[in-house]
Amino acid sequence: MTVTYTPARPIWCAGCGHFGVQGAMAHAFAALDIPPHEIVVLAGIGCSGTVQNNLGTYGYHALHGRVLPTAAGVHLANPRLTVVAAGGDGDGYAIGMGHLVHAFRRDLPFVYVVMNNGVYGLTKGQDSPTRHGLSGIGGFDAIDLGLSIPASGFLARGFSRHPDQLRRLMTDAVRYAREGRGFAFVEVLSPCVTYNDTYASWEHLVEDVDTRQGYDPSDRAAAFAVTTGLAAEGRIATGQILLDADRLPREETVPAAVDVDPAANAAAYRDLLDRYRV
């Protein structure tokens, strides 16, 4: 796969889980044979906020907590693009929380990847909203939030130490969004080796629901029971937690997107500016 821009060299600490996330994203693009000029990767603020520099696709660095509305705008402006938003648990679950709720509700077909390490690594290790939730003592769990919103159709969680699982989940998420089925959410347990090295502890806490006999990712209520049950035991559900495999592409279920092409709307834009100046 040729690149659109020469990738930068990652600036993460050696051993950072984000390397695995980046590798899974690159694998998904290659496995689905998507030309790099048809991909836009947008990133938020934090250590994860440089991933778009490293992939050779088009990239955009969004404002703090605002990667989801920016990604939605890119999709609406050009639905032919493969749009992937990425960020950390601080950017997505603190300042960006309101946008996450409505991204689930609006269900626009793009991917959101959250690299969850439980800390604000860029600002030297303060607890993020998930720090205690991932140890089973309370806190915030984005998968449970997604399960609680009926519009959601694709919820998955991977672990950067389990690369085969992560590559599969990432590829499935990109495919789901490219087919126009809706919002594909992938949380990745991505340890921070400097401020919250959880590789060993998470290895013993995760349970891949895909290996559970009889687990049905289309059954929302059952998925909720499994994730909350595991959390009560101090464990973390990973795998394909929710999948609406029969969902129709968005183009068949919602009206066409508003035409925001500048050339087609130049007169309207000038009118808006003239009224603003008054």
pLDDT of residue 75: 93
- Distance CA(238)–CA(252), nearest Å, equals 31
Contact 190, 21 (CB under 8 A): yes
Q: What are phi and psi of 9, to 5 degrees?
A: -85, 130
pLDDT of residue 265: 82
Write the CATH number of the domain with boundaries 18-251. 3.40.50.970
Sequence-distant (6+) residues with CB within 8 A of 268 are none
pLDDT of residue 122: 74
- Distance CA(155)–CA(129), nearest Å, equals 19
Between helices 163-178 and 18-31, what is the axis angle to 10°? 50
pLDDT of residue 133: 53
Q: What is the DSSP letter of 248?
A: P
pLDDT of residue 239: 97
- Distance CA(219)–CA(161), nearest Å, equals 27
pLDDT of residue 253: 47
The torsion region of residue 132 among left (phi > 0), alpha (psi -120 to 50) and beta comes to alpha
Blockwise average pLDDT, block size 10, the chain, 278 residues: 76 93 97 96 91 93 92 92 95 90 95 92 75 60 95 97 97 97 96 92 94 95 95 93 87 56 81 82
pLDDT of residue 1: 57
Q: Which amino acid is at 275?
A: R
